[in-house]
Chain A
Amino acid sequence: DAGITQSPRHKVTETGTPVTLRCHQTENHRYMYWYRQDPGHGLRLIHYSYGVKDTDKGEVSDGYSVSRSKTEDFLLTLESATSSQTSVYFCAISEGRGMNTEAFFGQGTRLTVV
């Protein structure tokens, strides 16, 4: 199994508070991704990183920011959590960006904003 650890695994937070989710990998893969999973929408890309300090927005990036100061860590921050950000968040890593390169996923973080 690919070494990907997401923390925390579960979190309940109040509206308006900042929240940071962490993705840690031990595979030394260059590409890292944050997705959110919601019923009826599958997984949607929030942000991705193609190297240390190199990040870009995905299709649902509003209200989220990311940082990658080390190869192994990719942080997702909700600056001011809203109820619409209640979701399951997945981190994924990929060695390359080729069309046949498999992506490996973390276990997911279930976030509830109340």
Chain B
Amino acid sequence: AQKITQTQPGMFVQEKEAVTLDCTYDTSDQSYGLFWYKQPSSGEMIFLIYQGSYDEQNATEGRYSLNFQKARKSANLVISASQLGDSAMYFCAMREARGSSNTGKLIFGQGTTLQVKP
């Protein structure tokens, strides 16, 4: 069964430093996509970055990059040069592609709360 695990309930990072948020996943499908979302205290879900299972290079979006290790089934989010505005909850999610049975649903991890210290 597909599953996403985020083992860090809470993280602290000093402003301007880099931080890695861990995400491991379990799937029997060869085709899948991995997403990271940010949820600030205001509650909305903000899409950050996407990595496809067939992508050979790690995805990057500005200060966000994804450390994708397919053999280990991990998709860690790296935030470089942390800012105070990065304080939020971060969710890792996966979507499988399984032909006609695919519903397009996202499966989420438990989330990691990141606090950036000034």
Q: Which residues of A does B touch, CB under 8 Å?
A: 31, 33, 35, 40-45, 48, 50, 56, 58, 88, 90, 92, 94, 96-105, 107-108
Contact = CB atoms under 8 A, between A and B. Distances in A.
Contact of B35 (A33, A58, A102): A102
Contact of B44 (A44, A98, A103, A105): A105
Contacts of A105: 37, 44-45
A47 to B, nearest CB: 10
Nearest to A33: B105
A23 to B, nearest CB: 14
27 contacts: A31-B103, A31-B104, A41-B110, A42-B6, A43-B91, A43-B93, A43-B106, A45-B106, A56-B103, A90-B45, A92-B45, A92-B106, A94-B104, A97-B97, A97-B104, A99-B31, A99-B32, A99-B52, A100-B50, A101-B33, A101-B95, A101-B104, A102-B35, A102-B50, A103-B47, A104-B47, A107-B44
A2 B47 CA distance: 12
A49 to B, nearest CB: 10
Interface of B: 4, 6, 9, 31-33, 35, 37, 43-45, 47, 50, 52-53, 91, 93, 95-97, 102-111
A45 B4 CA distance: 14
Given A43-B91, A45-B105, 11 more contacts: A33-B105, A40-B9, A42-B91, A43-B106, A48-B105, A50-B104, A94-B104, A99-B33, A100-B52, A103-B35, A103-B104
A20 B58 CA distance: 42
Contacts of B44: 105, 107-108
A58 B108 CA distance: 13
Contacts of A45: 105-107
B33 A100 contact: yes
A108 B35 CA distance: 19
Given A90-B45, A105-B45, A108-B43, A99 B108 contact: no
Contact of A43 (B53, B96, B108): B108
Contacts of B6: 42
A56 B96 CA distance: 17
